[in-house]
Amino acid sequence: MVNQILIEKIDSESFFLQIREILKQELAEMQPETGENLPDLMTRQDTAKYLHISLVALNDWTKKGILTSYNLSGKVFYKRAEILQALRKNKRRR
């Protein structure tokens, strides 16, 4: 199926309002999470996914002291607040 564009009569103000609304929605989806919806403890996999890094990189960051890991019942977790704090700290360095 070929993409089609349908043009209808619309005044310029309505057109720009619609475009503006679409752009707002797209930009909102591109914004990083603030952490409000994250659990207090995150697994290694969840942390790596949130930070968009590999598990190897996450391990390196932990060894370098950028992030602190916690072992509970043989599993590794990271605290949400500490992840967000590390991100803010790194952002200030730039």
Domain boundaries, the chain: 41-93
Q: How far apart are CA 76 and CA 69, in angstroms?
A: 6
> How far, in Å, CA of 48 to CA of 27, rounded?
23
pLDDT per residue as tens digits for the range 12-56: 888 888 888 888 888 777 655 555 566 789 999 999 999 999 999
CATH number belonging to domain 41-93 = 1.10.1660
Question: Phi and psi of 79, rounded to 5°?
Answer: -85, 130
CB count within 10 Å of CB 38 equals 16
- What is the pLDDT at residue 51? 93
Beta strands in 1-94 (DSSP E): 41-43, 69-72, 75-79
- pTM exceeding 0.85: no
Q: What is the pLDDT of residue 26?
A: 80
pLDDT at 37: 63
Distances in whole angstroms, Cα of residue 68 to Cα of each of 15, 49, 57, 73: 50, 17, 13, 17
Could you tell me which residue, 67 or 11, shows the higher pLDDT? 67
* Straight-line distance from the first to the last Cα atom of the chain, in angstroms, rounded to the nearest whole number: 47
